[in-house]
Amino acid sequence: MNDLMNRIQCNLPEFSKGQRLIARYITEHYDKAAFMTASRLGATVGVSESTVVRFATELGYDGYPHLQKTLQEMIRNRLTAVQRMEVTNDRMGNRDVLQTVLSADVEKIRMTLDEIDREAFQSAVEAISNANRIYILGVRSSSALANFLGFYFSLIFDNVKLVNTNTVSEIFEQVLRVGKGDVFIGISFPRYSKRTLSAMKYSKDQGAQVIALTDSRLSPLARYADHVLVAKSDMASFVDSLVAPLSVLNALIVAVGMNRQQEIEGTFNKLESIWDKYQVYEKLEGE
C-alpha cells in the first residue's frame, strides 16, 4: 500500500487534472477503487476510461488490471468488516445475489486451478504422508476448514492433532512437542490470524515442515511456510468465500489417501462394520 501511494505522490506533479481526480479517489477510497473497473472508476470521478488506463501506465503498470490487482493484494488485510460490507453492497447493486455469489465462487476455483503451484501441492502431499505427527490450525472462519481436514485425516492417520484454541497460550500448550519429522498445517485468509502466524513460526523454529493454505504468495503465512498452497478467496464480501480453499483441501485429502490406499481400505472396511453395527447412518428402504 505504501509503495502504491508513494508512486502516486511522486507522479502527482506530472498528472493531468483528470488523473489528479483519480489519484485523490484512490487515496481516499482505496477499498472501493480496488474492485472497480476502469470504466466505473472513470465514471465515478468524472473522467474517461482511457484517462484511467493512462493513469495506470504512468504509474509504471502494464495496464489498469495490473494496478487493480496490485491494489487488491496490498489492501487485503486492511479492510474492516464494515468496509467489506460496503464494498459488497457497492459491487452487488441490484444484481441477483444467488447468481452473483455462485458465479464468483466458480471463478475463484478456476483462478485457483490456474495459479496453484503443483510442485508445492505434491511436496505437501509427500510431507504429510511421511509425517510423524500432523498438526492442523485454523481459527475463526478458517476453523471450518481445519475441522474438515482434521476429520478426514483422522480417518487416514492416527497421529493427527487438531489444535483447538481461543488464546495464544493454549496454542503453545498444544503444539509444545512439535519438532523435526512433524508437519504443521496453518490455514488463514484475510484478515490473517496472528495466532496462526505465531504457531507457524514456532513450529518452523522447532524444525517441523510447515504448510500454509492461504490466498496469496504475499500472505504473511508464506514467510513461515515450506510449502504454500494458494486458494483464492473473496476478500470483499463480509462473508468469507471458502469454496476454493475447501476444494484444495479436498484434493489434498484425496492425494494423501491415494498414497496410503491399502491402509485406508482396511480402515474403512472396519469403520463400515462399526457404522452398521451401531446404526450410525440411516438406512434407506431396500438396503
Q: List the domain boundaries for the chain.
A: 2-75, 110-276
Lookup: cell for 94: 441490484
110-276 CATH, one of 3.40.50.10490, 2.40.40.20, 3.40.50.720, 1.20.1530.20: 3.40.50.10490
- Least Cα distance to 51 among 35, 73, 59, 91 occurs for 59
Rama region for 276: left / alpha / beta (φ>0; ψ in -120 to 50; rest): alpha
- The strand pair at 183-187 and 160-162 is best described as unpaired
Write the pLDDT tens digit of every residue in 205-258.
999 999 999 998 878 999 999 999 999 886 555 567 899 999 999 999 999 999
Q: Tell me the pLDDT band of 5, cut-offs 50, 70 and 90.
A: confident
Amino acid present at 8: I
pLDDT at 244: 95
The pTM score is 0.72
**Number of neighbouring beta carbons within 10 Å of residue 40:** 15
Do residues 220 and 197 make contact, with C-beta atoms less than 8 angstroms apart? yes
Rounded CA-CA distance 196/223 in Å is 12
CA distances from 91 to 48, 97, 242 (A): 20, 10, 19
- Write down the architecture of domain 2-75 according to CATH: Orthogonal Bundle (1.10)
